[in-house]
Structure 1
Amino acid sequence: MFKKLKLSLLILCLPFAALAADFEAGNQYEVLNTKKSATPQVTEFFSFYCPHCFKFEPVAKALASTLPEGTEFVKNHVNFLGGVSKQTQSNLSYAYLIAKQHGKGEQVADQIFHSIHIQRAPLQNIKDVKALLATNGISGDVFDSEIASMPVISAEKAMQDKQNKYSEMGALTGVPTFIVNDKYKININTIKSQEQLDALVKFLLEQ
Structure 2
Amino acid sequence: MLVRLLLTALLSAITFGTAAESDYREGVHYEIIKPAQPTDDPDSIEVTEVFWYGCPHCYDFEPYLEKWIETIPDDVNFVRIPGVFNRSWVPHARAYYAALALRVQDKIHLPLFNAIHKHRQKVFDQASIAALAAANGIDAEDWKKAYSSPGVDFKVKQAGKRSVGYRITGVPAMIVNGKYRTSAKLAGSNADMLKVVDMLVDMERGN
- TM-score range, shorter-chain basis? 0.7 to 0.9
- CA distance in structure 1 between the partners assigned to 2:194 and 2:118 by the alignment: 28
SS in structure 2 at match of 1:74: strand
Q: Is the 8 A contact 2:116 2:122 kept in 1?
A: yes
Same amino acid, percent of matched pairs = 27
Can you give the 5+ residue segments of structure 1 that lack an aligned partner in the other structure? 1-6
- Name the TM-score, length of structure 1 as normaliser: 0.78
1:79 matched to 2:80: no
Between stretches 180-189 and 35-44, larger displacement belongs to: 35-44
- The reply on whether 1:20 has 2:21 as its aligned counterpart is yes
Alignment of 1:156-167 (within 5 A): 156-166=156-166
Q: CA deviation at 1:70?
A: 3.2
1:186 maps to amino acid: T
Quick one: distance in 1 between partners of 2:74 and 2:28? 27
Offset at residue 107 of structure 1 (A): 4.0
Q: 2-side partners of 1:69 and 1:16: how far apart?
A: 23
| Structure 1 match to 2:4 | none
**Structure 1 residue 91 displacement after superposition:** 1.5
Q: Distance in 2 between matches of 1:191 and 1:121?
A: 31
Structure 2 gaps, min length 5: 1-6
Q: Write the mapping of 1:44-63 to structure 2, written as runs, cut at 5 A.
A: 44-63=49-68
Which residue pairs with 1:103 in the alignment?
Answer: 103
Equivalent pair of 1:130/1:139 in contact (CA under 8 Å): no
State the one-letter code of the partner of 1:52: H
2:169 is aligned to 173
**In the alignment, what sits opposite 2:181?**
185
Q: Which residue of 2 aligns with 1:4?
A: none
**CA distance 1:163–1:142, shift in 2 (3 Å):** same
- Give the one of 165, 188, 200 matched to 2:196: 200
Q: Is the 8 A contact 2:172 2:183 kept in 1?
A: no
Q: What CA distance in whole angstroms lies between the structure 1 residues aligned with 2:183 and 2:98?
A: 31
Q: Which residue of 1 aligns with 2:75?
A: 70
> What letter is aligned with 1:178?
M
Please list the CA deviations of residues 133-191 of structure 1 after superposition, one character each: whole Å capped at 9, or x if unmatched. 1233321211121123232221111111111223xxxx311111111111111142243
Counterpart-to-counterpart distance in 1, 2:189 and 2:164: 29
Quote the offset at 1:43 in angstroms.
1.4
TM-score (norm 2): 0.78
Whole-Å separation in 1 of the counterparts to 2:65 and 2:92: 19
Counting matched residue pairs gives 190
